[in-house]
Amino acid sequence: MPRYLFTGRGGQVLYYAPSFAKLYWRLFRDRRVPALPKLLLVLIAIYLLSPLDVVPELIPIVGTMDDLLVGVTGLWLFVRLCPPAVVRQHVAAIAAERRA
């Protein structure tokens, strides 16, 4: 799908979402990544899928925003806790796949 269809910041996030998902999956499976970041990724998934919530979804906007905040912050921290060289290697490989 052409990139120009995704204009603006939100569109760019949607355009690159599959690449981010692939990066998280590749880092999760990589043996060079320590157990702590992998555990963090599992805990994020459990929190987001769990019916228990810090702020219930019944509160219209705030209920969704806490999940978004936990998800985005947790995924950012996951990548920051991974070895930078390993992250760069996977990012380069994903970029090469996108170009092909």
Of 15 and 94, the one with more pLDDT: 94
The phi and psi torsions of 6 (rounded to 5 degrees) equal -105, 85
pLDDT digits (tens, 9 = 90+) for 11-55: 777 788 899 999 999 999 999 999 999 999 999 999 888 887 777
Cα 41 from Cα 24, distance rounded (Å): 8
The CA-based angle 13-44-34, given to 5 degrees, is 100
Where does the pLDDT of residue 6 fall: very low under 50, low under 70, confident under 90, or very high at 90 and above?
A: low
Which pTM does this prediction carry? 0.81
Instruction: Output the DSSP codes for 56-84.
Output: -TTSTTHHHHHHHHHHHHHHHHHHHHS-H
The residue range of the domain holding 56 is: 3-99
| Mean pLDDT for the chain overall | 87
Total domains in the fold of the chain: 1
The pLDDT of residue 11 is 74
Q: CA 80, CA 37: separation in Å to the nearest integer?
A: 9
